[in-house]
Amino acid sequence: MALATMTSQRGQVLLFVALVLPIVLLPAAAFAVDAASAAAVHARLEQATWSAAESAVQQIDAGALRAARGVSLDQRSVQSVARDALAAEDPNATIERLAVDGLYVTVEAAERLQLPLSFLGAPAVTLRAKATARLTLGYESPSSFLPFSVSTL
């Protein structure tokens, strides 16, 4: 009789593990896959946003410079270059906001990501990144290849 009870308990534990394990582990695995996917896309979006800001801030208004009105940025060129640079690095990203303030360019970009395994929560998320670049006059180092040095904040 004791042997039958022991076998019955082992069978119950096996059944419990077989039923509960997928309920606990599958969502945890799905979350890990979704989080890794989102982190990779967000890293690419941040890099693309930074690159767009850095490229855009180099668009000097040549007419203003020649007319001795000082160094300023060409608004149209800034917008065009920022969009092109972002599209080249991350074709799925869009610019939500592009601001030019003196020699500063701020790019805010977003990308909608369809999650591969969305067991819990929304099937898609919107990732956002922001980068600000500042044009500084002069060279920071003799080996700089840029006509003006650029710093990102």
Q: What is the pTM of this model?
A: 0.73
Quick one: pLDDT at residue 9?
Answer: 63
pLDDT interval class at 143 (50, 70, 90): very low
Q: Is the pLDDT of residue 27 over 70?
A: yes
Q: Which of the two residues, 140 and 108, has the higher pLDDT score? A: 108
- Distance of alpha carbon 28 from alpha carbon 120, whole angstroms: 9
What integer pLDDT is reported at residue 151 of this predicted model?
55
Residue 122 banded pLDDT, cuts 50, 70, 90: confident
The predicted structure's pLDDT at residue 153: 54
- pLDDT score at 118: 67
Pick the most confident of 4-8, 12-16, 75-79, 134-138: 75-79
**Rounded mean pLDDT, 3-14:** 63
Residues with Cβ within 8 Å of residue 103, at least 6 apart in sequence: 57, 71, 72, 73, 134, 135, 136
Degrees, nearest 5: CA angle 112-115-116: 140
